Amino acid sequence: MVDKIKVFSGSGNRQLAQALCDYLSIPLGEVEISRFSNDNLFVQVKENVRERDVFIVQPLCCPVSDNLVELLLILDSLRHASARRITAVIPYFSYARSDKKDMPRISIAGRLVADLLQTAGANRVLTMSLHSDQVMGFFRIPIDQLNPIRTFCDYFEGLGVEQTVVLATDAGSARRAGAYATRLKLPLAFIDKRRVSDDEVEARAVVGDVAGKRVIIFDDEICRGTSLIEAVKATRPLNVKEVRAAATHGVFTEDATERLQALDALEEVVVTDTVPLPESKRVSKIRLLSVASLFGEAIKRIHTGESVSGLFE
């Protein structure tokens, strides 16, 4: 059934691409990516894709601009090679954070990147845990958004969730955290958080009963870790028994992993492999869960015309 599927990968996360190919029992397609002396990228697909259902795995993680241009060039190459359908598999769509014009004279980059993907040749997009759901409306082509709820909930259920409360890092993320609370059959609390500057936030209070309980903090991504650290600090006066955290995208910019590792009140941080985690950032408190089988199953369903949303029913 999957003999007409071809999966290729850019430089962004070849480990995830290989893992989902292993799940599908197909080889990872060969694509050559190099640079000319003037720093222009060169892309050549090394396999026949005529009338094939093709998927390109490329998260928009660091270096974001290089990974984006790589993806656009691969899409364009496949379009000119007469692929039947081209799906951009973007596990981490970082430009989803630029979803509105909240300052004068700025670009709504999420919309711009959506247009670029379609122009380059994408017929469909497959992604996971967008920072803002409204970004799906930026696309004029079909887009499927996966979530790691089952992956995370299975993990935490294995640890035991007695006397546990799900905590959202702010009121805006309460809906996302609420989905985990519903699945785990746990109460929900959230942080009253105010942004002090572009790089600083202040957690003013915990809204909900967490005193003496175990706490799991859910978020969509961790970059510098500021929101997570402030949330953990906000629970200290409440004598919580244990604090764990989970986020789909472990971006971990700058010294984020070192700061989280040094936070005594934090037991562990669980993230998925949508973003590659280099050895230099693999500290003992970071636990990595794979979503390769979830993406692999979604790819199989897209190919066969089955429901992708059925994965979460």
Per-residue pLDDT reduced to its tens digit, 249-302: 999 999 999 999 999 999 999 999 999 999 999 999 999 999 999 999 999 999
Q: Are residues 153 and 263 in the same domain?
A: yes
Band the pLDDT of 51: cuts 50, 70, 90: very high
DSSP-derived secondary structure letter, 206: E
Average pLDDT of the chain is 94
Q: Are residues 285 and 174 in the same domain?
A: yes
Q: Are residues 272 and 298 in the same domain?
A: no
Band the pLDDT of 196: cuts 50, 70, 90: low
pLDDT on residue 203: 72
Question: ∠ CA 147-173-245 to the nearest 5 degrees?
Answer: 70
Q: Which pTM value belongs to this model?
A: 0.94
- Helix or strand holding residue 303 (H, E): helix 292-304
Position 195 pLDDT exceeds 80: no
Rounded CA gap, 233 and 32, in Å?
Answer: 47
193 is catalytic: yes
Q: Are residues 250 and 261 in the same domain?
A: yes
Q: Are residues 104 and 125 in the same domain?
A: yes
User: 259 in helix, strand or coil?
Assistant: helix
pLDDT on residue 312: 83
Q: Are residues 157 and 203 in the same domain?
A: yes
pLDDT on residue 205: 81
- Helix or strand holding residue 174 (H, E): helix 174-184
Q: Are residues 124 and 51 in the same domain?
A: yes
pLDDT on residue 1: 62
Rounded CA gap, 91 and 294, in Å?
Answer: 11
Q: Are residues 226 and 298 in the same domain?
A: no
pLDDT on residue 171: 83
Q: Are residues 281 and 156 in the same domain?
A: yes
Band the pLDDT of 229: cuts 50, 70, 90: very high
User: 20 in helix, strand or coil?
Assistant: helix
Overall number of domains in the chain: 2
Q: Are residues 90 and 24 in the same domain?
A: yes
Choosing from 4, 185, 193, 281, the catalytic residue is 193
Q: Are residues 171 and 106 in the same domain?
A: no
Query: 31: domain range?
Result: 5-147+292-312
Band the pLDDT of 199: cuts 50, 70, 90: low
CATH of the domain at 185: 3.40.50.2020
Q: Are residues 229 and 307 in the same domain?
A: no
- Locate 184 and state its tokens: 């785990």
Beta carbons of 203 and 234 less than 8 angstroms apart: yes
Share of the chain above pLDDT 70, in %: 97
